[in-house]
Amino acid sequence: MTLGDFEEMMDSCVRCSKCKFIPQIQIKSKRFSHICPSIEYYNFHAYSGGGRMIMANALHRGRIEFTPEMLEVLYSCTNCGGCEISCKWVYDLEPNEVIHELRVAAVESGAGPLPKHKKYIDLVDRNQNPYGEPSEKRPAWLEDDIELDENSSTIFFVGCTAAYRREEIAKSTARVLNAGGEKFRILGTDEVCCGSPVYRVGDKTKAIEIMKRNIELFRERGVERIVTSCAGCFNMLKTEYPRYVEHEFEVVHISQLLETMLSEGRIKPTREVPMKVTYHDPCHLGRMSEPYEPYEGEKIEILSQVYMWDPPKPERRGAGGVYDAPRNVLKQIPGVELIEMERIREYSYCCGAGGGVKSAFPAFALWTGGERVQEAEATGAEGIVSVCPFCSTNIRDALKSRESKMEYYDLTELVLLSLEGGD
């Protein structure tokens, strides 16, 4: 798709600002009513989903050009997709898709992405990961007690963040897989970035190259099923890859597999973990993980200013994301009490790290993480649980900067704590 495919949509934005907040019926307090971290932090309409659509439309119609100021606005967005869910309640537009296409246009024109993004894209080119770490170090997290089965058609796609920065999540994921008797292997030094950091900042060409390379590798290695512990990898492999490349693989997130293992009695949490926790929904495991179906029908005016879609437009309102699996797992851990935050499921507030924001706008990323931490603290819980190494990094940074008493846990770590012999 290109910006031109969104012409009608960009013209339809009525500047109502509903994309700045969670839908009214879901609001529980003014304090936690926003959905868009960008508008909340920068407080100027251009920094909202609707504002960026106006910008995209103006560029598409040749009324403006890319400038450093405009790029700054364009990239101060975590690609969390919250604006899209809120707009769909009223006007059914897709601001997050438009923002992505505007980023693609920025890259294709040579204006984008930002220098920080270019730097990590170069690292992905050279080292196959955005951290610039050597491939040989990718499986360094693997410990002797973790059992791999080199004949399995299931791989644990570790992802760059878990492999190089959040090794504890890679280890606990592998250990819960072992505990449930799930046979799996890893690609080790041959694993490469899923392409998410490159795709999200608009380098679609390079991202598609990475997708093709990964698909080829999966086929060569006889992979049939891919397990991820990262919401970003899950989103790319499950939702974005099928938009650009042929893809026959089953993709599951570890939270879904844990739910299955529990229901089949393959893991039995018996040890008490006495703790009140709250759960953070990663945007890319939740609202953004529904399949994207490009719409090719028509908008028909049936009465004055009353429109309908012919044929009916497929709904993509975030409700079909992965929300129940992690919650159902938490509820089966003895002693764990789950207390929900105000913004949950498709109305969840972003952790603040995505869309290239953590690298280019660290202060904004930290502020957003701090907002989410304050919402978590308001529940009275002692722990904040999630299922994404990238969310983990930003939320941990925010907990530290706020000197919060809360602790962050990956879901797999809590499950391990609840198993006999698992620490």
Q: Which residues bind ligand SF4 (CB under 6 A)?
A: 13-19, 35-38, 48-50, 52-53, 77-83, 87, 90-91, 93, 95-96
Structure tokens at 53: 């659509």
What is the closest distance, in whole angstroms, from the C-beta atom of residue 39 to ligand SF4 in the complex? Answer: 6
| Closest to ligand SF4 by CB, 77 or 417 | 77
Cis amide leading into 23 (omega within 30): no
Amino acid at 175: R
Question: What does DSSP say about strands 225-228 and 250-253: parallel, antiparallel, or unpaired?
Answer: parallel
309 pairs with which residues across the strands?
Answer: 299
Cβ neighbours, 10 Å, residue 237: 28
Cβ proximity to ligand SF4, 53 vs 160, nearer residue:
53
Closest residue to ligand SF4, judged by C-beta, is 50
Q: Give residue 268's identity as a one-letter amino acid code.
A: K
Closest separation in Å from C-beta 256 to ligand SF4: 24
Smaller CB distance to ligand SF4: residue 57 or 127? 57
Question: Cβ of residue 54: shortest distance to ligand SF4, in angstroms?
Answer: 8
Minimum CB distance to ligand SF4, residue 302 (Å): 20
State in angstroms the smallest separation of the CB of 388 from ligand SF4.
Answer: 16
Q: How far is the CB of 352 from ligand SF4 (least distance, A)?
A: 9
- Provide, rounded to whole angstroms, the least separation between the CB of residue 94 and ligand SF4: 9
Q: Token digits for 115? A: 């220098």
Tokens of 276: 């009140």
How far is the C-alpha of 231 from the C-alpha of 253, rounded, in Å? Answer: 8
Nearer to ligand SF4, 103 or 238 (CB): 103
- Omega within 30 of 0 (cis) for the link into 311: yes
H or E stretch at 325: helix 324-331
**Going along 343-422, which residue ranges are E strands?**
383-386, 407-410
The residue (of 49 and 180) whose beta carbon lies closer to ligand SF4 is 49
- Residue 49 phi/psi, 5° resolution? -60, -45
Nearer to ligand SF4, 169 or 395 (CB): 395
β-partners of residue 306 are 303
To which residue do tokens 């994404």 refer?
A: 388
CA 99 to chain centre: 16
- Closest to ligand SF4 by CB, 93 vs 385, is 93
